[in-house]
Structures are given as structure tokens and as C-alpha cells.
Copies of this chain bind each other. A is one copy, B any other.
Amino acid sequence: MAPTAHTLSQLAERFGLGLHGDGQTTIAGVGTLARAGAGELSFLANPRYRSELAHTQASAVVLRPGDAVASPVPCLIASDPYVAFARIAALFDPRQPPAAGTHASAVIDPSARIAADAHIGAFVSIGARSVVEAGAIVGAGCVIGEDCAIGAGSELVARVTLVTRVRIGQRVLIHPGAVLGADGFGLARDGGRWIKVPQLGGVVIGDDCEIGANTTIDRGALDDTVLEEDVRLDNQIQIAHNVRIGAHTAMAGCVGVAGSTRIGRNCLIAGAVGINGHIEICDNVVVHAAGVVLSSITEPGEYASGTLLQEHRAWRRNATRYKHLDELARKLAALAKESER
């Protein structure tokens, strides 16, 4: 079923936006400033792309009030054009939810409970005492272990694994390859060998969370590993056992969080950040890309670590000096003292 077309006037009214230019302009799709064509709506939010506005072939653009004058085509005016565009673009998403019902190949434990309007795809297995609530989608190849729950309206796209004792809230979206509820990495050293510390807790995912492809979230050792509501995790993130992440916090790809750490609400953790175990990060913290957080952060703000990229030979010389930075600082202090005499 093709998405319906909408006029600019209809869109302006529906989403409470301003309108400059011909309200009868018809929009049947969306695209970038550089690539959108006739019948498509684009947007300008990131100033980096402002130079593309003048040449756009889009039929209309969503933008901030101050940018309207520079637009060669009709505009929808929004204080936050990215939010407005996100809402409008959803009208043009061609994906249809899969039909309700359980695929003939699925293997479901008799003690599991599946809502009548849930969708269970091909090659899905669901273990004892697990529950799939109304309207939930469990895509092809997912493995749901024992004592798990998938809340109403949630979607496991495909090949997601919930190992055991994983409770997913409502409207949660989990991408392929994600593994929730695997054993935490709990080891004790006993006479030169490792013994495994039993991992008996679960995982709790709040409502409206999104979890990226191949991301892993381990079950707690005793208590649960917890994501509060509206936490957004990108791909290939590792969340160790007993971590707690506060509501509305977002993490970009390849972040790792070690065990028992608590992260506050409304934090933004950029890509490839590493976060130590047994620490606390307060609310409203931003950590920049590839930062390494070894100790607790108690003040909101923006944080970073690392060094800047440079030509390899120059880097090598500087990196060699860094190994003696303390000595260098001491020499400088001595020299300064001497010069004071």
C-alpha cells in the first residue's frame, strides 16, 4: 500500500507548523536537501547543510523561521525542524506491521502465553513461562528463553535473544543480533583457577527504549540490570551486569559500560566511550566520543579524554614525550623556582 500524499497546508495544520508559500504543494515522500526531488519534502536543521538549501530540488522544506527567506521553495516553519520532520516522515514509512499470528515453524513452550494479536515469526522459540503481550512482534529467528516478558507493542525485529528473566516494557524496539540476559562476567579466583559466580538476576527494560543491533545487556548477578524508560542504545554497545541507566539517556555505538555502574538521567554518551565499573555518573552528563570514564562524575557538564589525531611521525614524538610528562613538569617547576631567586 503506497503512502498517501498530503498538501503542505494539511501538514502545517496537523503538526502545528508555520507555512510560507503555496499550501497546495503536494508531498508524497521525503528526502535530503541534496537528493529530494519533485513531490518530496526535505528539512534543514544542521547548519552544516545550509549551503544545500539554495539548490534543493525538493518541493518543500521544513526549517527554522530565520532560514525561510533563503528557501527557493515553499516552507514549513518549525522551531525545531528536526522534530517536525521526524513526525512528518513517519507518514511516509512504507513498512506495514506483520500480520497477527504465530508462524507454523515457531516452537512455543506450552506454559508460555502469547497475546492473540501478537506476531511470532518463523523459527522463533519461546521458553517456559514467558509472555508476549498485545500487539508485540517477535521477528524471525528470535530465541526467547524462560521467564521472559515482552510488553505490549514492543518489537524484536529478528534474531534477538532474550536468555532468561528478561522483562521488556511497552513500545520497546530491539534490533537484530542483540542479546539480553546472558550471564554477567562474574568470576572469582580460587587457587590459580577461575570459578564462576552464578548469575541469578535478570534484565529490566523500561517502556519506549530502543536497543541497537548486536548490543549486549547482561543479566544481573543477584539484582537486575536496569534500563529506565526511554533509554536509547545504538549498535554494539556492551552493558555489563547490574548496571542501571537513567531515563532518557542515549548512547551512540560501541560504548562499553562495566559492571554495577549507575548512569543518571538525560545523559548523552558519544560513540566508543568506555565507562568503568562500580562508579556513578550523575544526571545531565555529556561524554564526548571515545572518552574513558574511570571515576564517578558528580557534576553535570561535558567531559572528554584522549588526544587529537595528527600526522603519524609527529604523534610518535609527542607520545614518546608523554611517557615522561611528570618529569618534564618537575623540571619546569624547578626551573621556575630557580628563576625566582
Contact = CB atoms under 8 A, between A and B. Distances in A.
A76 interface: no
A287 interface: yes
A14 interface: no
Contact of A301 (B292, B312, B329): B312
Given A143-B140, A182-B176, A254-B274, A86 B195 contact: yes
A13 interface: no
Contacts of A232: 185, 187, 194
B141 A195 contact: no
Copies in the complex: 3
A302 to B, nearest CB: 4
A339 interface: yes
A38 interface: no
A310 B320 contact: no
A231 to B, nearest CB: 9
Contact of A236 (B30, B190, B256): B256
Given A185-B234, A308-B305, A222 B32 contact: yes
Given A179-B176, A331-B332, A240 B216 contact: no
Contact of A161 (B177, B295, B336): B177
A240 B194 CA distance: 24
A240 B92 CA distance: 22
Contacts of A223: 31-32, 34-35
Contacts of A291: 309
Interface stretch (A16-24, A65-73, A77-85): A77-85
Contact of A292 (B31, B82, B190, B289): B289
A12 B332 CA distance: 60
A99 interface: no
Interface in A120-163: 121-123, 125, 139-141, 143, 145, 157-159, 161, 163
A183 B139 CA distance: 15
A4 interface: no
Interface in A207-262: 208, 210, 212-214, 216, 218, 222-223, 230, 232, 234-236, 238, 240, 248, 250, 252-254, 256, 258
8 contacts: A92-B200, A163-B176, A176-B182, A179-B235, A234-B240, A252-B258, A318-B325, A322-B325
